Chains A and B, each alone.
Chain A
Amino acid sequence: MTQYVAPRPGSSGARRLVGGPRPSDRIFRGLSYGSAALIMVILAGVAVFLIIKAAPAIAASWSTGDLASGTTAGYANFWAYSGPLIWGTLWMSFIGLLIGAPVAVGIALFISHYAPRSLAGILGYLVDLLAAVPSIIFGLWGIAVIRPYLLPFSHFLTEYLGWFPPFGGQVSTTGSTVLAGAVVLGVMVLPIITSITREIFLQTPRLHEEAALALGATKWETVRLAVFPYARSGMVSAILLGLGRALGETMAIALIISPSIVFSVALLTENQNSQTIAANIAVNFPESNDLPRAGLIGTGLMLFVISFAVNFAARWIVGRTGGSAKERRSRKIAPPSDAASILTLDVAASPLEALEPRGSSAHPEGQEPSIPELRD
């Protein structure tokens, strides 16, 4: 404070304290506001495009004209056409997640808590590389490797578990099944789910892990007591992000499965494989006339809506935990005044803050009061 500050050359002794925003600030602010606005414009533009282009097919009669022939033949209206496709998209993504998500979480857990440090680094790097593989490559891999590889397994499932509808029916001879597609999807959703859950697992407060270990918890028990409860909502949003990826996947599915536009849960058959929206568009768009194209764009609109719904669901889940934390805090008469609980609040701050920098802070204490069950 008392140090002598050399007057700047050119200044007349007193420092200038008054001034407008610097030009660099103004430019940068303009740029960032501009790009934010641009995103909204693009999004709205896409929605408007989809609606305008799809409207003719949604309004048209499907029993006459262009729509009554070719790939769109035999559907009463747009909804009869898009319904099975929506189902197929959800079903395929669901099976893909069912296969991919547990593996992804397992890999994340292995990297964060089990692997020696050197191996963890390499594995993390490999998983990130997986994200960079183009989906057409996954498609080729699915055709060449996964399809034949799954056939014996498919026969086994049908023979012994055929009473369960997804495993029922005549097993495909080529292997171009929903199961093969879902396995490839499962691999494709691995990287995003793994990298997000890994980060969250790594942020588990040491404090809580040590609490579990000091009670005589094994590694796995420590994960169950300290890591999972802390990472729960982060895991859910990671999986929903994976779902987002699976929903829109086109090429791999288009290459692998031999589809039908049907409501079917069959995973292993030749001709009961529910087609997905994205693959259906990719396959049929080039050869369609105007109205059938409009029909395809209409299904694209449905996909757009589904993706939005998934995103909102993810946000809602994350936001719900944040919301109840806020409620709880406002219900408290006074903030905790003693150091320990402040410290605990501090370290318990949710990892979702890292994902959600806009401050939908989710303290674990704020998570809905349902308590993770201790199962033995």
Chain B
Amino acid sequence: MTVLANAMWGSRAYRWWMAALYAAVAAGVLLWLRQWNQGLVLTGMSRDVAWGLYVGQFTFFVGVAASAVTVVLPYYLHAWKDFVRVVILGEMLAIASVVAALLFVFVDLGRPDRLLNVLLHPSPSSLMFWDLLALTGYLALNVILARAALAGPPAAWNRALILVSIPWAVSIHTITAFLYAGLAGRPFWLTAAMAPRFLASAFAVGPALLILLCRAFRYDAGDEALRKLRLVMTYAMTANVFLALMEVFTAFYSGIPGEAAHYSPWTWLSGGFMAAALALALGRSRYAPAAVFASLAIDKGVVLIPAGFIPSPEGAVTPYIPTAVELGIVLAIWCAGALLVTVLFRVAESYNRRSCPHHPS
């Protein structure tokens, strides 16, 4: 744990950054206490739009968590040695993202004090039950793997866990897609392309975020690793945009009224962002990782969930406008995730310095 303790200290800028994150998290806790006290009436959700930003952000962060597989799989299964320094970052990012995803579920509940009912009264027909199991299992796996990776070269049991973690990562996002894709009454989500598209967008977002974090933390991942991350991001983003277009085709060519009705200016705007981000990635722009990350954070984290509820099954169009309280809580959970990422990345960095004394950094 001394590694962890060292990670908490650093330069002046670092201390300010941490202080700001702590302050944002504290503000979020206060806002959440208000929400707990007065109810979810403080959010922009309604009878018709029963899920909003919280569930959207949950979905997005499950994707970021699953994306660790984009570095774990090439490194361990295909021996891409270039990823030697990013693979630990991928695992750290997965830990922070699962925590953020679980926090988003928590703040969305009307009665969070009863959360344990999910385990006390297990309901195998509910995908939410399976999703919570998969997520907590994935969190445990990654904590074990990251700790083992810091301790030294992988032991045999450790390798077995790594092999388990790969399909497990795919499963968490598939189950999360199944939360929505099996609901007969919600045509916007009722599509077999939901899980594949979730995975494609996740595998674009993860590498994009890793590139951004390496830049932000001045973490030397190696040029070849960065180049390969970019490649994975570009292919995955292409697959994601392709699948999105498939959805558009079916919705509009079939002419079924309930299908096309869910495409609003917001969905088109978000689709436009994704297309622009893909164009930047294909053009090898320096801004591509930021654009890919932002466009997918919007598409999955903001647009996808409310769009499924508007119009309602009875055709009512109830707009969803998040409130300041809701935005504050979302921001606080992002900051909690950033806090975790900062600490965990420092741990990874100090570990790298110790283990590679000749590394030019």
Same complex origin of A and B: no
- The interface of chain A, by Cβ under 8 A from chain B, is none
- The interface of chain B, by Cβ under 8 A from chain A, is none
